Structure 1
Amino acid sequence: MKRLVLVILSISIGLCSCQNKKSVTHNKNAYEIDSLLNYCFNNYMFNGAILVAQNDKVIYKNAFGYADYTKTKKLTASSVFSLASVSKTFTSTAALLLVERGVLNLDDKLSEFFPDFPNAEKITVYNLITHTAGLPNYLEYGGYFRVEGRPGDFQDSVTNLKVYNYLKSIDTLQFEPGSQRDYSNSGYLMLALVVEKASGKPFHQFIKDEIFIPLLMGNSYVKSEPDLKVQNRAYGFTNFYQPDDDNLMTSGAGGVLSTVEDLYKWHKGLSSASIISKETLNQAYVNTKLNNGSLSQDRTGTWIYGMGWLFRMNETENIAWHDGGLNACSAMFYQDLGRDFTIIILSNKGSTFANHPIYTIRDEIIHILKKEQFSLLKIPISQKMYYLLNHFSTDEAVQECKNLWINDKDKYDFSVNQLNRLGYNFLQPNDFEKAKAVFKLNCEFYPDNANVYDSYAEAFMLNNEYKKAVEFYEKSLDLNPENTNAKNMLQQLSKKMLN
């Protein structure tokens, strides 16, 4: 990526920024952040709200884009987003608050609250809060609560009670509690149920009474609250403008709705020990010790996961954060406690399966705040091509994409999955002309990749062009003789062509 000190807005291909009225202090950091975010918005990479604070002062607050896929209502800094797994910071704090009050103990067995739950005598509150309980994942791709035929989509009206009954029906654990750490949405949902039992209040009411009201977080909610009405809600949609909201009604693992402004109040409340003491909060920033005495780390090995927080705290760093993503909704809550800056990013557009740009945006803002050079993000060619196909003829769009491949390849993300993802977007509504054009283009860009030919063949097969489908499945199989999908499809096509 090209390294810059200042972002030149003219490279954002002449599009008009549609951000709302912003709050920006007059300093270089705020100017550079604003330039970066305008560039990202104008090049299809960001739709959401953002707040950046430094030295105990908000230096940048803004919103870009739209509240839903219809593009009829603009976002504001007061728009309410799904926090997805950032909700876990509230759940863990709720549990620690009860520990601080002596109502709950981290060594308490789950069986004290749910005696009929399988293996509850083996699982402690500490296991739930540190992801070491070994419970099966109720959000598993293609699992029990997914839509049949659409393994990436969740059923509507999935509640904590439904998940509890599902988990109760499973007798086996994934591993012995405390023997390893595996990020667990089921564990945090059960932790929310423990908070209910210990406090005597519904989880949504406890969070409201003990956190939202004291911190004046008037635009924050827990989705499990009955008959909930939320104004200024931001609803999730894909990069290709299809609705894709967080439709789960569970809480604990997710379920909190909030704004960038309220999340900054959350940061301030934690920093000032307004909810729990600093001593109690510091317990959340301790590495989890497993049964064998070893310490756990996250999947990348670069961050430690304590009690509801990812963190890295040593002689040079003092950072605590959490991210979240469900369907098209993504959230980033990042606190550099040592350098005293906070970055809060909420987005309702994109995909949690596609390396959401909030991570790169966060990283580049960190460079800015640390007075380092920062980078422009590469523009996803899938979204550029989507724009071209919706504003020009297919032939014109294809030619322009080829021109970008030749002349501006360093400016765009041309990774193989970009156009493949776009092609499948056009397959879903049976827009075979565009789908085939995109897949063909990807084959030209990646002639040695078996998967792109497999996708191209699928487009022909779905359009009943069986001879062409056979041609490209065979091409895929030549490149990858182990491609079982191509083998299966060729067998099916052989039967279809005989009939």
Structure 2
Amino acid sequence: MRLSFTGSLAVVSLAAAIAGCDRAANPTAGEAGTDRLAAAVRELVGPYVEGRSFSGVVLVARGDELLVHEGFGQTDHVTGTPMTVGSKFQIASLSKSFTAAAILRLRERNKLALDDPLSRFLPEFPRGADITIHQLLVHTSGLARYVFQPDYAERSRRPHSAADLVDWIAAVPLALEPGERSAYSNANYAVLARVIEVVSGQAFGEFLHDEVIAPAGLTDTGHRGDASVAAPDLAIGHVPVGLRTVERSSTVDYSASTGAGSIYSTAGDLLQWHRALAGDRVLTPASRALMFERHVDDRGYGWILDERRGRSTVSMSGWDGVGFSTEFVHFEEENLTVIVLCNLSISTAPTELADGLAALVLDGEATPLSLAAAPLDAALARELAGEYRFGADFYVPNASLVLSRAGNHLAVAGRPPGALLQLAEVSASGDPAFIHRQQWFRVTFDRDSAGRVSAMRYGPFEATRVAAAP
């Protein structure tokens, strides 16, 4: 179902709808509050759907009460098949919590210890004696991000056993010394998947189903280890093209991300997953404490433990780069869970939407997306276009990003490509602010004392302008 919402308010307000609603004591007031919340959610999500920058399912629950559970857009933008709340999605890095739970199940049976060296299970793995299971769980192993290797796009289209995947990862030199610091890499959880196979004697997907998924009571969740077998009701992944277009993504084999991003699920199952982890259906209290302990920086085992809106949260974001993006956040003291699943490869749009959904419930208001009505001025587009170089903290250290003029907008050349959507707001430099549609990073520009464009702020990163547009 394609939803279209219009509204001139700068803020979607829900304070009166939510405050003091008690459905048990006053069912009519409770139902009215829930209806108003649903309407406010549609008002918030609407601009993303209309701009074809969101298509998926949103879920908001407080305790055992399901406040919102709704599908937006299409499962397949070619056929126009409507999205439903039962649609399944690849959940990208949310898969890591399942792999972490499987490791902890093996630890409970004394099959492995968290300080065991990797060499105990994979004796041929380079530097395996210096890497522990714990380091793999919290991304301090030093393993490089194999998804950034030049041959990844081609190799990710082939089927891989977990052993094949480990051989591929083992051939990539370490990015850091083991234990040096936390540096996120899917390779850690791909290696853990192979450890699970070696220790259990079962295929990763089989062990996960028998020991994690089934005990949790999940019926619409599984490991996508065979690209030729599609799960029923699995949404089709898409990539954004230009300002408003989407296309079906190229075929990938999710066995290339076994353990790190190979799980599919539904919003309802993910809510049940977190509830199962909070009880004793999957993990013992000791294992549960380990999973949700802040071990290094903000990392638990498969989860991020931080704060949002000044409140303690357990969360995980996911983006597979080829068709799906996800967000899960649970506000601990408020017992509020927000889940956003998207079948568009738009990295942090679900994170932004989840933050807005949480704001509606927790704060009573949220600011909707507001794009500029007029096209970008051609002279300004030429002035902002050029090459910008990032520092060592970027995904690919010291990489460059080239902005060029494409019709009436700016576009990114290279990886990831995509158009810059012009926002209605103006940045501190006096120039418009933008959103990079594929990454969904906010983009602004700095100028020097002479008024020349000198730098670009790209999400959490800063890049220096090194060349003007040709």
TM-score, normalisation: structure 1: 0.67
Cα gap change, 1:45 to 1:6, in 2 (>3 Å)? farther
In 1, distance between residues paired with 2:186 and 2:406? 30
Alpha-carbon displacement from aligned partner over 1:172-210 (angstroms, at most 9, x marks no partner): 422221121100111110011111111221110111112
Q: After TM superposition, give the deviation of residue 262 of structure 1 in Å.
A: 1.1
Distance 1:418 1:199, change over 3 A: farther
Deviation at 1:371, TM superposition (A): 3.2
Once the two structures are TM-superposed, the CA of residue 44 in structure 1 deviates from its matched residue by 3.0
Aligned residue for 2:68, secondary structure, equals strand
* CA shift for structure 1 position 225: 4.9
Gaps of 5+ in 1: 8-22, 148-152, 289-295, 298-303, 385-399, 404-415, 429-434, 450-475, 487-499
Q: What is the aligned partner in structure 2 of residue 223 from structure 1?
A: 224
| Structure 1 position 6, deviation (Å) | 5.3
Alpha carbons 2:90, 2:263 under 8 Å: kept = yes
State the partner residue of 2:338. 343
User: Does residue 360 of structure 2 align to residue 368 of structure 1?
Assistant: yes
CA RMSD, aligned part only? 3.9
Matched residue, 1:319: 313
| Alignment match, 2:163 | 161
Q: Shift of residue 419 of structure 1? A: 6.9
Q: Which structure features the higher share of strand residues?
A: 2
Contact 2:376 2:409 in 1 (8 A): no
Question: Which structure is higher in helix share?
Answer: 1
Distance 2:33 2:345 in 1: 29
| Unpaired runs of at least 5, structure 2 | 1-8, 16-30, 378-401, 432-452, 454-463
The one-letter code sitting in structure 2 at the alignment partner of 1:364 is G
SS of equivalent to 2:306: strand
The 1-side partners of 2:77 and 2:47 are apart by 21
Deviation sequence 1:311-353 (CA, Å, 0-9, x none)? 1379x8442111100123101111112111111110012432x
Q: Percent identity?
A: 23
In structure 2, what residue type is equivalent to 1:108? D
Q: SS where residue 50 of structure 1 aligns?
A: strand
- What letter corresponds to residue 323 of structure 1 in structure 2? S
CA 1:279–1:137: 2 relative to 1, 3 Å? same
Q: TM-score, normalised by structure 2?
A: 0.71
Counterpart-to-counterpart distance in 2, 1:345 and 1:481: 35
- Whether contact under 8 Å (1:127, 1:178) holds in the other structure is yes
Contact 2:76 2:235 in 1 (8 A): yes
Which secondary structure does the structure 2 equivalent of 1:45 belong to?
coil
Which residue does the alignment assign to 1:401? 375
Provide the C-alpha distance between the structure 2 equivalents of 1:279 and 1:427, rounded to a whole number of angstroms. Answer: 49
Q: What residue number does 1:84 align with? A: 92
* Structure-1 residue corresponding to 2:260: 253
Aligned to 1:135: 143
One-letter amino acid of the counterpart of residue 483, structure 1: A
Task: Report the residue type matching 1:253 in the other structure.
Answer: A
Answer with 182-191 or 272-281: which moved more. Answer: 272-281
SS at match of 2:140: coil
- AA aligned opposite 1:241: V
Paired residue type of 2:291: A
1:277 shift after superposition: 2.2
Question: Residues 43, 481 of structure 1: CA spacing in aligned structure 2 closer, same or farther, 3 A cutoff?
Answer: closer
40, 63, 69: which is aligned to 1:55?
63
The reply to whether residue 271 of structure 1 matches residue 272 of structure 2 is no
Q: Distance in 2 between matches of 1:418 and 1:347?
A: 28
Contact 1:109 1:121 in 2 (8 A): yes
Residue 45 (structure 2) aligns with: 37
Paired with 1:24 and 1:132, the residues of 2 have a C-alpha distance of 49
Aligned-partner Cα distance in 2 for 1:246–1:283: 37
Deviations along 1:343-379, whole A, 9 cap, x unmatched? 1110012432xxx321111111111111332111123
Equivalent-residue separation in structure 1 for 2:12 and 2:404 (angstroms): 25
Q: Distance in 2 between matches of 1:236 and 1:226?
A: 13
Structure-2 change in CA distance of 1:421 and 1:284 (3 Å): farther
Q: Which amino acid aligns with 1:307?
A: Y
Aligned counterparts of 1:252 and 1:481: Cα–Cα separation in 2: 39
Partner of 2:442: none
Q: How far apart are 1:36 and its partner, in Å? A: 1.9
In the TM superposition, residue 26 of structure 1 has moved relative to its aligned partner by: 3.2
Q: 1:53 to 1:189 in 2, by over 3 A?
A: same
Q: Count residues in correspondence.
A: 380
The offset of 1:24, in angstroms, is 10
Which structure has the bigger radius of gyration? 1
In the alignment, the residues of structure 2 paired with residue 272 and residue 417 of structure 1 have an alpha-carbon distance, to the nearest angstrom, of 49
Q: Are the counterparts in 2 of residues 367 and 374 from structure 1 also a CA contact under 8 Å?
A: yes
Q: Amino acid of the residue matched to residue 249 of structure 2?
A: D
Q: Distance in 2 between matches of 1:36 and 1:145?
A: 36
1:175 equivalent in structure 2: 176
1:106 and 1:125 in contact (8 A); partners too: yes
Task: Give the deviation of 1:279 after TM superposition.
Answer: 2.8
SS of aligned partner of 2:264: strand
Q: How does 1:323-472 map to 2 (within 5 A)?
A: 323-327=317-321, 328-352=323-347, 356-379=348-371, 401=375
CA distance, structure 2, for counterparts of residue 271 and residue 87 of structure 1: 17
